[in-house]
A and B are shown apart, each in its own frame.
Chain A
Amino acid sequence: MSAARSWDERGAWRWLRFVVLAGYAGIALVPLLWLALTSIKAATDTTSTTARFIPAAESAVSGAASHSFVPTAAGWTGLHTPLPGSPATFLDFLLSSLIIGLASTVAAVALGTVTAYGFSRFRIAGGKDWLFFILSTRFMPPLAVVAPVLLMYQQSGLTGTHLGLILLYTVFNLSLAVWLMKGFIDEIPRAFEESALVDGYTRTQAFFRIILPQARTGMAVTAVFCLIAAWNEYGFALVLGGQGAATVPVWFAGLQGNISGVPWPVVAAGAVLFVTPLVVFAVLVRNHLLRGMTFGTVKG
């Protein structure tokens, strides 16, 4: 009797779980699906008052109340059409994002790895306080530094340059890079290096030949998190990027309030193209996501 009831209860719980998960997944993933659909619509189909979501051949589309639309590549080809009055297209902004994202990621991971190695393997005066200081910079609201950084950049001609944003993003990602890499390097047994040192390796050789190969996964995970942060950043890119180093988020924001209306298919195509690498990377490091989001304090 009691066994039967508990079986029923389990069944009910299972149903409830299914409903919660399916409901949430539906709500959370529909916008992404809709984004992909929007990228292959004609502009008029994106602002239709009856939602159009069934791709169809021309003949099947009937009237304003139809839910069908004829797929077109116009949104995608729009990505290499320049904005009026500016020689730049989406692809130019994408190039800017790529240069800034990749360069700042390489710099942050390299610097972060070396620094983490130092904190992991050497006794450094006030080491714990320095690590604490590094972590605390991550919590600094950008608004507290944006005015001085802008004035510094304007004085030195760094506004509107790729270098300016590369430097800034490198520094902003440093705290995460150091903390994540320290966790990974701490996990590499000290004995590996020590035996290498006994074999006559110098510290530098040991770092490059022993530590780096072992820390490869950690560096890849760290790189993904740094790249995502640099790739998605908007506020500083808007203020410091000027006309010369404007990144893709700035391009998107510029379409807001566009006097000829927002070109939704182009926006959607650009968004799909822009976020696809992020999604791929996120899938690749999915087992380390938690670690990355909590500065290495929690390992998933």
Chain B
Amino acid sequence: MSTFSSLCRPALRCLAGIAAVAGLAAGDSKPLTIWWAQWAPADGLQQLSEDFTKSTGIAVKVHQIPWSSYQDQVFLAFGNKTTEFDIVVGDSQWIGRGATKGLYLNLTSWLPGAVDLKAQNPQVLRYLCEYPGGSGNYWAAPCESDAVGFSYRADWFADPAEKSAFKAKFNRDLAPPATWAEFKDVAVFFHRPEQKRFGCALLTGRGYDSLVMGFQQLLWAWGGSWGDPATFKVTGKLDSPQAAAALGFFKELMAFGPAGATNLDYGKSLEAFTNGSTAMAMNYFAFAPGIAKQMGDKAGFFVMPTQDGRRTISLGGQGLSISAKVPVERQEQAKKFIAWFLTEPVQRQWITKDAGFTANTAILKSEAFRKAAPYNAAFADSLDSLQDFWNVPVYNELLAAAQKRLGEALDGVKTPAAALTELAKEHQDILTDAGLAK
């Protein structure tokens, strides 16, 4: 790589030799290793993989890493000569970086022959597996497809006293809101801080990506966008009046949230709902099984509301990508696992696990799936409205800038319009610097 590292390599290799001794003994029988973030679906994948081990004799280990450092640990590991994982369940935004920097194995020639791609939801394929989207170049296979949705307090909504009070105030029935305007009414209605009851919890966390995932659904629905995916032109889209109106509305909703509503990551939004204080909480459906378990009949689920008839939802979930930095034998084993995982019988098992959300269209459409859990119908109805943030190699710089500027707008440091104008400039600059925008 450089004269410098070649100079110091002998000395360091000597040290590495000592370091490797301990690892060697275990190295030969190392199971097929999958890295995923620390949450329930990963437990499900581990359980499911026992069947794979039974039929093939290949042991599988799903290693979970805390969400807060998951991305950084994965890309740090990619810096090593070989990665500890054979398969990484990579976030949707990572795919451009994985594909173009030689980190993910190119699956284009293998995947279509090994897996029935026609059975998969096309939006999920486009965002989780292809790069660039629609190119037919595959870098991942669907693992957990996910969407943002809402959980709500079914017991409060069903309370006759609440129902009549709502009807008297808004002249319509109290029901899960279909539009954002209705959503705000319901949030206002249930917001009673003196009783420690709050209207809504939205995704606004400043960590990795939760604020962007929460806000962009309104951005698109109001008619704005992150930019033109073909020309990478941002200005005129992200700094449009529609975008500012969307952010303004999003900010208004902060007034009906619990303490610290302007900084709720996935865990905090979940906590706001499960501690029984909040009427409606935004989160990924992956958290729904946990909510249903904890809250029972008190929890219901609904699809993202619409604006002017438009429904747009943040895509979540992740694909299975094979590390380009492990030996070919291990890559072959990884392929075997992926092909097995995406067969229909296994996918039917997968959906029985917590948040084991398949991308298999036939399964998703089946009545059996829709009725199997209280959140399944809302999840299935969300899939056709999915969109994602930029997934270009510089996604993380774009994400970091967006998190900061949107955060400033919510904090009241900048007006929505000013924050978006500055953000559009920054995004254009980053995309131009990366050689994407002309």
Asked if the two chains touch in their complex, CB atoms less than 8 Å apart, one says yes
A residues near B (Cβ < 8 Å) are: 47, 49, 83-86, 150-152, 154-161, 163-164, 167, 238-239, 242-244, 253-261
Instruction: Knowing that A83-B38, A163-B15 touch, tell me 8 more A-B residue pairs with CB under 8 angstroms.
Output: A49-B196, A84-B43, A85-B38, A85-B43, A157-B80, A157-B81, A243-B73, A254-B69
For B62, B271, B287, which residue has the most chain A Cβ atoms within 10 angstroms? Answer: B271
| Chain B residues positioned under 8 Å from A257 (CB to CB) | 66-68, 205, 207, 265-267
A159 lies within 8 A of B267 (CB): no
Contact A239 B265, CB 8 Å, known A161-B19, A260-B290: no
Bound complex: CA A242 to CA B19 (Å): 14
Contact A157 B38, CB 8 Å, known A85-B63, A255-B66: no
Bound complex: CA A244 to CA B80 (Å): 13
A85 lies within 8 A of B64 (CB): yes
Can you sample 15 A-B contacts with CB below 8 Å? A85-B46, A151-B79, A152-B5, A154-B80, A155-B5, A156-B13, A163-B18, A164-B19, A239-B76, A242-B77, A244-B23, A258-B38, A259-B266, A259-B287, A261-B270
Bound complex: CA A243 to CA B64 (Å): 10
In the complex, what's the smallest C-beta–C-beta distance from A66 to chain B, in angstroms? 16
Pick the residue among B8, B63, B69 that contacts A152 (CB under 8 A).
Answer: B8
Query: Would you call the interface of chain B mostly helix, strand, loop, or mixed?
Result: helix
- Asked if B39 is at the interface of the complex by the 8 Å CB criterion, the answer is yes
Of residues 265 through 295 on chain B, the ones whose CB sits less than 8 Å from some CB of chain A are 265-267, 270-271, 275, 287, 290
Bound complex: CA A163 to CA B81 (Å): 18
Number of interface residues of B (CB under 8 A): 46
Query: Would you call the interface of chain A mostly helix, strand, loop, or mixed?
Result: loop
| Chain B residues positioned under 8 Å from A255 (CB to CB) | 66
Contact A86 B63, CB 8 Å, known A161-B19, A167-B15, A259-B39: yes
Minimum CB distance partner of B80 in chain A: A154
B68 lies within 8 A of A253 (CB): yes
Bound complex: CA A86 to CA B424 (Å): 41
Bound complex: CA A151 to CA B72 (Å): 15
B42 lies within 8 A of A85 (CB): yes
Pick the residue among A49, A152, A157, A258 that contacts B66 (CB under 8 A).
Answer: A258
Of residues 1 through 46 on chain B, the ones whose CB sits less than 8 Å from some CB of chain A are 1, 5, 8-9, 12-13, 15-16, 18-20, 23, 36, 38-40, 42-43, 46
| Chain B residues positioned under 8 Å from A83 (CB to CB) | 38, 64, 66
In the complex, what's the smallest C-beta–C-beta distance from A158 to chain B, in angstroms? 6
Pick the residue among A164, A254, A259 that contacts B267 (CB under 8 A).
Answer: A259
- Asked if B65 is at the interface of the complex by the 8 Å CB criterion, the answer is yes
Minimum CB distance partner of A250 in chain B: B69
In the complex, what's the smallest C-beta–C-beta distance from B87 to chain A, in angstroms? 14
B267 lies within 8 A of A258 (CB): yes
Contact A158 B15, CB 8 Å, known A85-B42, A85-B62, A257-B207: yes
Bound complex: CA A150 to CA B5 (Å): 12
- Asked if B84 is at the interface of the complex by the 8 Å CB criterion, the answer is yes
* Top-10 shortest CB links A-B: A85-B64, A156-B12, A254-B66, A157-B16, A161-B19, A257-B68, A156-B16, A259-B267, A163-B19, A154-B79
Of residues 371 through 418 on chain B, the ones whose CB sits less than 8 Å from some CB of chain A are none
Minimum CB distance partner of A153 in chain B: B12
A156 lies within 8 A of B38 (CB): no
Bound complex: CA A62 to CA B51 (Å): 50
Contact with A along B49-77 (1 / 0, CB 8 A): 00000000000001111111100110011
| Chain B residues positioned under 8 Å from A47 (CB to CB) | 275
For A154, A253, A255, which residue has the most chain B Cβ atoms within 10 angstroms? Answer: A154
A84 lies within 8 A of B64 (CB): yes
For B66, B68, B73, which residue has the most chain A Cβ atoms within 10 angstroms? Answer: B66
Pick the residue among A160, A242, A259 that contacts B67 (CB under 8 A).
Answer: A259
Bound complex: CA A157 to CA B16 (Å): 6
Contact with A along B75-101 (1 / 0, CB 8 A): 011011100100000000000000000
| Chain B residues positioned under 8 Å from A49 (CB to CB) | 196
Minimum CB distance partner of B13 in chain A: A156
B68 lies within 8 A of A159 (CB): no
| Chain A residues positioned under 8 Å from B23 (CB to CB) | 244
In the complex, what's the smallest C-beta–C-beta distance from A212 to chain B, in angstroms? 28
Contact A254 B20, CB 8 Å, known A85-B38, A155-B5, A159-B80: no
Minimum CB distance partner of B8 in chain A: A152
| Chain B residues positioned under 8 Å from A84 (CB to CB) | 38-40, 42-43, 64
In the complex, what's the smallest C-beta–C-beta distance from B259 to chain A, in angstroms? 10
Contact A158 B67, CB 8 Å, known A85-B38, A242-B73, A259-B287: no
Pick the residue among A151, A158, A160, A164 that contacts B84 (CB under 8 A).
Answer: A160
A157 lies within 8 A of B84 (CB): no
Bound complex: CA A159 to CA B303 (Å): 44
| Chain B residues positioned under 8 Å from A161 (CB to CB) | 19
A158 lies within 8 A of B65 (CB): no
| Chain B residues positioned under 8 Å from A243 (CB to CB) | 63, 65, 73, 77, 84
Bound complex: CA A161 to CA B66 (Å): 20
| Chain B residues positioned under 8 Å from A159 (CB to CB) | 76, 79-80
